[in-house]
Structure 1
C-alpha cells in the first residue's frame, strides 16, 4: 500500500529537513522519513536539492539491520555565511557564522552609521566570497515606549539597496535565542527559551524551529514582568518590573549604595562605564567578596522568580542564560535559577528544565543576528515574515 504523504510535505518541508539534519549532526534518509512522516520520494527529492545547493552533503555510511549500509548526510558548514551586526550604545559587534552557526569571524568597533562600509570592510578582512554571503541582520535592544530608537526599517531598506543583499532586523534578545538554538543544535521538538541579561532583561523563544515574535515583534520582554505589584516604578509605566532589580543597571546602583563596596571597586569613578562597573562587581563576587556576592546573588534571586513564571507560562524544557550580564558571574545566576525551578516549576514532576550558560555571552546577539540570516536563507518557511518591517 502506498504511504500517505503527511501535511508536513508543504512549504515548510525544506525547513523541517534542514532543522533535523542540523540537530542530528548526521542522519540517514531512512531516518529522516521515519522522523518527518514524509514519503521516501519526497525525502529523496528534498535531499537531492539541498545537496545540489551545497547545504548538505553525504558524509559516510552506517550499518543497517536491513543489510544495506545507510548513507549519512550532514550540514556543509562553509558553503554559505551569514553576517550579523549588534548595535550597542557605543559599539557595533560584527559576527560572521557558517551554516552550523559556528563563528568564523568577529570584531567590535566604535558605533558608526556607515554600516554598509563596515560590512564591506568586515567581510573583506575575512576574505569571504561575496557569492557565499547570504545577507546581513542588524539587531538592537528594544527601547522603552516613547524612548528614541534607531529606525531599523529605514536602516534595513537603505542597507539592502546599498549591499544588494537581503537585510533583516530584530531585537537583540530574540536574535540571541535563535543563535543559541541554531549553534547548540537544539531539536525543533524542544520548547526553548533564552534569557538575555544586559542593561535591560529580554527573552527569546523558539518553538518548532521558529522564533516566537508576538503580534508586534515584541515578544519576550521578560524585564517588564512584575515581581512586586507595588514595587519600584519603571519607565515602561509598570511597577516592580524585574529589570528594576536584576539588570546590570540595577546591580551597579545597588553596589553603589554600599559605600565600602563602591569605594573598594572604584564605582564612583566618573570615567567608569556601566559595563566596566558591572564587570568589577561580578568579578569581585566570583572571587569571594561577600558584599559583591550579596549584590549579584540578590539580583539572581529576583531574576529566578521571573524565569519561573516564564517557564510555568510556556512550559519550557530548556533555558539558556546569555548576554554581557552573565559573562563573568553566570554561575551564580545559573545556580539560583536551577534551584528555583527544581523547587517551584509547575512541570517539575513531569519533566526537568535544563538551565545552561552561553559559551559566548557577550557576542550572543551578534551571533544570533548572523544565524537569522542563515536560517532565512537555507531553511525558509519557519514564519510568514523573517523580521520586523
Structure 2
C-alpha cells in the first residue's frame, strides 16, 4: 500500500527530522523513515543537508537483522550556540547552550540599562570564547507584564530592534514561563508526540505548553496565564480584576505575604520577595512545622489549578520550575503528584508525570537560549518572535 508522505521541501519536514533525532539521541535513517512517514529519498536529502550544515553527524552504527549495520546519526552539540538573557527585577541571567540544550556558560550580573545589553552580550560570549560565526542569536525573556499591559514581545520591541543592530545577530523575545517550557522540552529530549507542559513558579505563576514540538502562544502571545486561573470564585481579589486567582495563594509573593501575617514565622520586612521566600522555604525543608504548613497549603492550591490545566489540555508530562521550585520544589511536586493521581481525568488512560527542573532558577534563561537553537536548526516552530 502506498504511504502518504509529508512534504519533503520546506521547514516542516526539516523541523520534524531534527525533533526526532533530538529526542532519540541517536537514530538510523531507517528508523527516521518509520517514525516520520517520509520516504527514504526524502530522509536522505534532508539528512545530507543537516550534515553539511553541521547540525547532525554520524556517531556509529547499530546491528540490523536485515543486512549490514545501520549508521546512526545524532545532533552535533558544540557546532552552534544560542544565547539567552533573562531580565529579572534586579539581575540579568546570561546563559549559552549548545544544540542539545546543554549549558556551556552562565553568568548573573546586576541588571544593566537597555543600552548596555549589547556590551554585556559581547563580554559574555567573549569570556566563553565562543566563535561569533557559530552563535545563532540572542533571546531575551522577561515576566509577563501586569494584566492589561503590553505583551512581552511588544514591550521589548524597541530593545530588540536596537540590540539586533548592535550585535549583528537575530534577537528574539518571549515571556519567561513559555521560554522555560521550551528549554525543558528541548534539553530533556521530550518527544514531539507528547503533550508537554511546564509550570513556572516565581513572584507570579505562569505556564508554558509545547505541542508538536512548537510552543503554544495563543492569539496574542499570552497563553499560559495559569496564575490567573480562579480556584475560588469569591476568594482573594486579584489586580487582574478576577477573584480567587491561584497566584494570590501559591506564588512566591503570596507565600511571603502569608508568612508575614503568621507570628510563628520571622520575616524580614526589608527583604526582597525572593530572599524572604527562600528563608521560608529553608525553614520548611528543614522541618519547621509552621513554614511547612504554609508551603504545603500553597502547594495544595497550585495542585487544584494544575489539575484543571492538565484536564483541559490532556497533558502527559508536567515540569515544575522557576525560582520558587529551587528550594521547596519537592513540597509542591509531592502535592501535585498526589492530587493528579486522585483527580486527573485521564489517570485511567495514561499517567501524568510530574518532574522537577534540574536548574529551576536558570530555567527561563536556558529556555531563551533554546528558543534560538530551535529557530536556527528546526525553523518553522517560532513564528512571529524574531
TM-score, length basis structure 2: 0.97
Distance in 2, Cα, partners of 1:229 & 1:274: 27
Flag structure 2 segments of 5+ consecutive residues without an equivalent: none
Note the aligned Cα RMSD (angstroms): 1.3
Measured against aligned partners, the alpha-carbon deviations of 1:18-40 in whole angstroms (never above 9, x if no partner) come to 00000000000000001101010
Distance in 1, Cα, partners of 2:118 & 2:242: 38
Given that 2:92 and 2:110 are in contact with CA atoms closer than 8 Å, whether structure 1 keeps it comes out as: yes
Measured against aligned partners, the alpha-carbon deviations of 1:131-190 in whole angstroms (never above 9, x if no partner) come to 000000000000113558873111111111111111000000000000000000000000
Given that 1:174 and 1:211 are in contact with CA atoms closer than 8 Å, whether structure 2 keeps it comes out as: yes
Q: Does 1:243 align with 2:242?
A: no
Distance in 2, Cα, partners of 1:383 & 1:163: 21
Partner of 1:23: 23
Partner of 1:58: 58
Given that 2:151 and 2:220 are in contact with CA atoms closer than 8 Å, whether structure 1 keeps it comes out as: no
Partner of 1:277: 276
SS in 1 for 2:265: helix
Partner of 2:174: 170
Deviation of the 1:268 alpha carbon:
2.9
Match for residue 131 of structure 1 among 130, 133, 143: 133
1:8/1:307 Cα in 2 relative to 1: closer, same or farther (>3 Å)? farther
Distance in 2, Cα, partners of 1:146 & 1:350: 39
Partner of 1:217: 221
Partner of 2:118: 116
SS in 2 for 1:259: coil
Partner of 2:200: 196
Partner of 1:348: 347
Partner of 1:327: 326
Partner of 1:13: 13
Distance in 2, Cα, partners of 1:345 & 1:148: 34
Q: Give the paired residue count.
A: 381
SS in 2 for 1:329: helix
Given that 1:5 and 1:39 are in contact with CA atoms closer than 8 Å, whether structure 2 keeps it comes out as: no
Measured against aligned partners, the alpha-carbon deviations of 1:222-276 in whole angstroms (never above 9, x if no partner) come to 00000001111111111100000000000001111111212xxxx1342x11111
Distance in 1, Cα, partners of 2:254 & 2:278: 13
Given that 2:33 and 2:43 are in contact with CA atoms closer than 8 Å, whether structure 1 keeps it comes out as: yes
Deviation of the 1:194 alpha carbon:
0.1
Deviation of the 1:382 alpha carbon:
2.0
Distance in 2, Cα, partners of 1:145 & 1:103: 33
Distance in 2, Cα, partners of 1:357 & 1:338: 11
Measured against aligned partners, the alpha-carbon deviations of 1:298-346 in whole angstroms (never above 9, x if no partner) come to 0000000000000000000000000000100111111000000000000
Flag structure 1 segments of 5+ consecutive residues without an equivalent: none
Deviation of the 1:6 alpha carbon:
1.3
Partner of 2:311: 312
* Mapping of residues 141-160 of structure 1, within 5 Å: 141-146=143-148, 151-160=155-164
Given that 2:6 and 2:13 are in contact with CA atoms closer than 8 Å, whether structure 1 keeps it comes out as: no
Task: Please identify runs of 4+ aligned residues in structure 1 that moved more than 4 A.
Answer: 146-150
Partner of 2:365: 366
Range that drifts further, 155-164 or 312-321: 155-164
SS in 2 for 1:190: coil
